[in-house]
Chain A
Amino acid sequence: MSDIDLTSRPPAMQPLSLERRPFELRALTSGLLTGLTWGIAILGSIPLFSVIIMLVAEGGSRLDIEALTALPPAGFEMGGGFGNAIIGTLVMVAIAAAISVPLGLLAAIYLAILDPYSVVAGTSRFVAKTLTGFPSILAGVFTYAVLVINFGYSAVAGGVALAVLMLPTVVLAAEESMKQVPQKMTDAAFGMGCTRSQVIWKVVLPTGLPGILTGIMLAVAGAAGESAPLLFTALFSNYFMSELMEPTASLSILIYNFSAMPFDNQIELAWAASLVLVLMVLVFNILARLIGQSKV
């Protein structure tokens, strides 16, 4: 046996380090940095509140039925509104969604399920990620080169430019969502004798639908707020659109044009249009969140 006596008490402990010492340098540094981080977080959220307050204060006072339905005023004219711009924005976003959602979904199906590890899948996944950081104005330059030079400024060209920007978001969100579908479910479907496309249409897509819709909603919200790609594809128009192949107004371009004008009436309208645009974007964002919460 060892000569250590396990029954004896240890020598009395010095009142050592287990006490809190709030004024030690380490603790002070920690407290200081914690305060700094709180400061950063609060300061960082000020811009959002400032933007919202300005929008409600400046835009809310001007927002009425006339602003929502009338045509943009010229120069010194009073009154007026941006009804044609609201319609233009909605139409172009719809065109963009009609192009990018089917293409993006099919591409995502290939990336997530059909052949996730192939060279094509790897490359297009990487390109899609690169395209999410693609400057939006270059989508406009590209569409100008492809469509506008040949067919002139039009709502279709604006929609195509927005579709280029929506595509990567739709692809990556849909792929991510389909990957979340449990392997068991697809295995069970294959075990029942389903073909690959049956598994995809009847099991994977319905199960991953909330995530896919979230991605689509976020892409739509982003596209609705875009202005750079519309500058020289859809241009602007002071009239209601009568066909898809003519220059078309949009809320964002209206805000850009009116913000530089020396007339108070136009600037008030720019604020009101901003409020409408932000509300549209926020509605899509909130929809995306609500749908996303019901995920598998």
Chain B
Amino acid sequence: MAVNPFQHADSASSISGPPSGSDYLADSIFRVIALSCASLIVVLILYILWEIGGLALPAMAQHGLGFVSGTTWNVGSQEFGVLPEIWGTLYSSFLALILGGTFGVGIAIFLTQDFIHARLAAVFRTIVELLAAIPSVVYGLWGIYVVIPMLRPVAEWLHSELGFIPIFGTELSGPGMAPAALVLAIMILPTVAAITVDAFRRIPYKVKEAAYGMGTTRWEAILKVMLPTASSGILAALVLGFGRALGETMALAMLIGNSNQINLSLFAPANTLASLLASSFPEAGQIEVQALMYAAVVLLVITLIVNILGLGIQQYTVRKFEGKA
């Protein structure tokens, strides 16, 4: 008896068959929904800019550019200026970058250049990743009860012996720039290390082998071959780490002392834009909220510029290596 091999496909009970009209409809609807979600991210950042900008508009009209160069923040007399905060933001981030950048790049070299067994490197990588996982407030608490007491004798000694140098010009009375920058450095270290590790990984293994083949020592290979090759990736890591430091809020609000002054000394209290927002916003009246929104715009503009710059360098690096490979 002849069996039609395609019989099952013809019967109505079969599940196989070409997509029905409703399948196609569902497909297009799904596509539109996904498209709108993807566009939502772009809309979100524009909406953020528009909302914050809109609320800052009265303060912008009133204070103009004098807001950026003013040095007093006095709610009573309605004088608002954020120059000390801009200084504090940039200075603390810069100090954190020097320290966190050195350690981040150092740890990245340690993890990628065959110093330790791969298994041990994985343990170290986990340690660095966990550093990033600890919440900012916990670092703040740790800073208050561990870092500040630890720094105080060091700061006292530096101030009494080397007080003529401006960066040691004041005593550490408690919170201040040094503990804030130190904790900030720990917080950006994982970012810098992760992106730098990525930059080293992109270098083909044969580049290092070629250097060893020429008779270099391990460090000659690292300093003269690996670091220059990874330089744009490391630059991206440093710029993105700087961007993280600029926007960091809670640990700084707890450690920097919230004092509106411009001082080169590492041990003087200072303030940052983000911690100004954190400490003043909850109790602010309407006029001050407008001024704070203006401060938020300043912070937003600075961080967006730094982040876009960092991402640009990173994409350039990726393209450079993927183009060659």
Contact = CB atoms under 8 A, between A and B. Distances in A.
B247 interface: yes
A43 interface: yes
B293 to A, nearest CB: 7
A196 interface: yes
Given A138-B299, A141-B293, A30 B249 contact: no
A110 B37 contact: yes
Given A40-B103, A107-B34, A135-B299, A228 B249 contact: yes
Interface in B133-156: 133-142, 144-146
Interface string A103-144: 110110111001100001101101111110111111011101
A128 B203 CA distance: 26
Contacts of A259: 137, 140-141, 144, 254
Which of A50, A137, A222, A225 has the most C-beta atoms of chain B within 10 angstroms of its own C-beta? A137
A131 B281 CA distance: 22
Contacts of B18: 193
B140 A130 contact: no
A231 B40 contact: no
Contacts of A255: 137-138, 140-141
Contact of A106 (B34, B220, B244, B250): B34
A145 B51 contact: yes
Nearest to B141: A259
Contact of A138 (B23, B102, B296): B296
Contact of A277 (B16, B138, B247): B138
User: Counting chain A CB atoms within 10 Å of each CB, which of B134, B222, B246 scores highest?
Assistant: B134
Contacts of B209: none
Interface in B48-76: 48, 51-52, 54-55
Interface string A261-278: 000000100110010011
B192 to A, nearest CB: 11
Interface string B237-273: 0001001101111100110000000000000000000
Interface string B291-325: 01100100110011001101100000000000000
A195 interface: yes
B137 A114 contact: no
A40 B110 contact: yes
A57 to B, nearest CB: 11
Given A37-B109, A106-B37, A124-B42, A47 B186 contact: yes
B41 interface: yes
A112 to B, nearest CB: 10
Given A133-B310, A135-B299, A226-B135, A103 B40 contact: yes
A41 B197 CA distance: 14
Contacts of A270: 141
Q: Max chain B CB contacts within 10 Å: which of A47, A120, A171, A232?
A: A47
- Residues of A contacting B: mostly: helix
Contacts of B8: none
A60 B249 CA distance: 27
A115 B31 CA distance: 10
Nearest to B295: A141
Contacts of A128: 41
A51 B52 contact: no
Interface residues of A, number: 87
A248 B317 CA distance: 45
A290 interface: no
A221 interface: yes
A137 B274 contact: yes
B107 interface: yes
Nearest to B142: A51
A281 B134 contact: yes
Interface string A22-42: 000011011001101110110
A285 interface: yes
Contacts of A10: none
Contacts of A282: 130, 133
Interface string A210-249: 0000000000011011111001100100000000000000
**Which of B33, B34, B54, B103 has the largest number of chain A CB atoms within 10 A?**
B34
10 contacts: A26-B217, A45-B128, A48-B127, A114-B34, A194-B19, A224-B135, A225-B136, A225-B138, A231-B278, A278-B138
Interface of B: 16, 18-19, 23-24, 26-27, 30-31, 33-35, 37-42, 44-45, 47-48, 51-52, 54-55, 102-103, 106-107, 109-110, 115, 124, 127-131, 133-142, 144-146, 186, 189, 217-220, 222, 240, 243-244, 246-250, 253-254, 274, 277-278, 281-282, 292-293, 296, 299-300, 303-304, 307-308, 310-311
